[in-house]
Structure 1
Amino acid sequence: MLSYQHAYHAGNFADVHKHWLLVLLLEALSRKDKPWCYLDTHAGRGIYSLDSAMAMKTAEWREGVARLLETSGSAPESVQSYLRIVQSYLRIVQSNLRTVTEDVSYAREIHMYPGSPEFARRLMRQNDREVLCELHPQEIEHLKKHFHKYDNVHLHFRDGFEGVFAMVPPPEKRGLVLIDPSYELKQDYQRIPAYLEKLHKRWAGATVAIWYPVLTDERHQTLLKGVRESALDNVLRSEIRRKSEIRKKEANKGMVGSGMLILNPPWKVDLAITSGWSYLVNSLQLDDQQSVAVDWLKPEKST
């Protein structure tokens, strides 16, 4: 059994990047009246208490979502939907918090932070549907408690790779798959490109988002290489990296960035990402030379 639990890392800089992109993708799907289905291979617990012992042990949210909340007044339109959802879970408590770069005094406004399933639920319309797979016994119990009253959210205690593949294409025929494993198993970097090819053959019209960590050992390059060499095309990449001077002051230097691959991105979503990029870079104090808003890992083939 894998031991990873996201509660230690909820609301960190990687979550901000991942969930902002997720909101943009689901909003793009909602521009058409036809319903969509959201499928998540590794759902986690859905919503996280940032007052919990697990979250406070690392307090990674202080250098993630808290930084965006400090600058929310200057957020561009493409980031505002993400912030509105986050702000609906706030509780204001004045406190002094130490960041990795300086002592600052600001309003600690965060009480709960939504995970990917909760972001998706908040963006669902009446006829949209959500399918969540989770194999960790503690996490699935959290999902059951949180989502039990929602008829259009379906939970599956099963391996997410196998489960999602078995359930596509959904009746809606359009939608988004989020592949977001913990990468505790290093073979995930090798297996995902082949899995994407199989998934695409079964549901060619799906938008598929693949989150990956950017680590100091650059092992994510195996994933990128596999996708480049695959039969897939129309794959967008967005990747952030933190400034080296910030990373050096942190005890855990393993994850230095966050990446997302998007197969079949909705129309103009690349422009939406670009329009919010400077705000994200400045708020999260990113390395603007190594980070990339969007580029085409595999361009769409011309017909």
Structure 2
Amino acid sequence: MLSYQHAYHAGNFADIHKHWLLVLLIEALSRKDKPWCYLDTHSGRGKYPLDSDIANKTAEWREGVGQIWKHAGKAPESLQSFIQLLGVSDGIGGQEYPGSPEVVKKLMRPNDRAVLCELHPQEFEWLKKHYRHCSNIHLHFRDGFEGVLGMVPPPEKRGLVLIDPSYELKQDYQRIPAYLEKLRKRWAGACVAIWYPVLAEARHNVLLEGVRKSSVHNVLRSEIRKKNVAKGMVGSGMLIMNPPWKVDQTIEAGWSFLVESLQLDDRLSVAVDWLKPEQNA
């Protein structure tokens, strides 16, 4: 059983990057009246109190959501929904950070649906506590890679898959490109977001090269790097397969704020580029 628990890291700079992009993707899906389905391979517990002993053992949130709260008044339009979701008011934030399930819950419409997979027993108990009474959120205590693949395409035919493992298993960097190929064969039109850590050891390059060599196309990349950090997790990356129309422009519009508020290395960070363009582009 894997030991990773995100509560120690909730609200850090990588979460800000990941969840801002998640908000942009969900909002893009919601521009049409037709319902969508969100599927999460590694949900975590959904909500993370920042005043807990666990959160303050590392206090990583202070360099993430803490900085967003501090600079919220300067945020451009493309970050406003995300900042409102964080509960920011007059530069003061709430005491709870929303993980991916909570972000999606706050943005769901009555006819939309979410499917959350989690295999860590303790994390799944928290998921049940938070969401078992939500009729349009379905919980699965199972391996998310296997679970999501077995549930696509959903009846809604429109939607988003978030692939967000802990990468405790180094083979995840190698398995995800092949997994994307399987997903595409079963649900060709799905938007798929893949988060990955940027480590000093550059293990993520195995993932990026695997996607480049795979049969999938139409994949955007967004990647941030912290300033003056040379060990451990030095950045955060997100790949987006089948991105919504013009989402790259929306990311660009909010990039300067993200760079300044999180003190990113603008030279090494990549707002957005095409890791694999459309096949006929």
For the superposition of Structure 1 and Structure 2, which TM-score range results when normalised by the shorter chain? over 0.9
- Correspondence list, 1:1-303, <5 A: 1-87=1-87, 109-244=93-228, 247=229, 253-302=231-280
Deviations 1:6-38 (A, max 9, x none): 000000000000000000000000001100000
Contact 1:66 1:110 in 2 (8 A): no
TM-score (norm 2): 0.98
Contact 2:38 2:114 in 1 (8 A): yes
Return the offset for 1:108.
6.3
In structure 2, runs of 5+ residues without a counterpart are none
Deviations 1:95-124 (A, max 9, x none): xxxxxxxxxxxx763410000000001110
Q: Distance in 1 between matches of 2:59 and 2:148?
A: 32
Return the offset for 1:292.
0.4
Letter matched to residue 290 of structure 1: L
Q: Going by fraction, where is strand more abundant, 1 or 2? A: 1
SS at 1:176 equivalent? strand
Return the offset for 1:148.
1.7
Letter matched to residue 168 of structure 1: V
Q: Distance in 2 between matches of 1:243 and 1:74?
A: 21
Q: Distance in 2 between matches of 1:108 and 1:283?
A: 15
Contact 2:10 2:61 in 1 (8 A): yes
Q: Distance in 1 between matches of 2:133 and 2:50?
A: 23
Q: Percent same amino acid at aligned positions?
A: 73
Contact 2:259 2:266 in 1 (8 A): yes
Q: Distance in 1 between matches of 2:106 and 2:133?
A: 14
Q: Distance in 1 between matches of 2:87 and 2:67?
A: 13
The equivalent of 1:95 in structure 2 is none
Q: Distance in 2 between matches of 1:121 and 1:82?
A: 13
SS at 1:87 equivalent? coil
Rg larger for: 1
SS at 1:199 equivalent? helix
Return the offset for 1:43.
0.1
Letter matched to residue 144 of structure 2: G
Deviations 1:191-240 (A, max 9, x none): 00000000110000000000000000000000000000001110000000
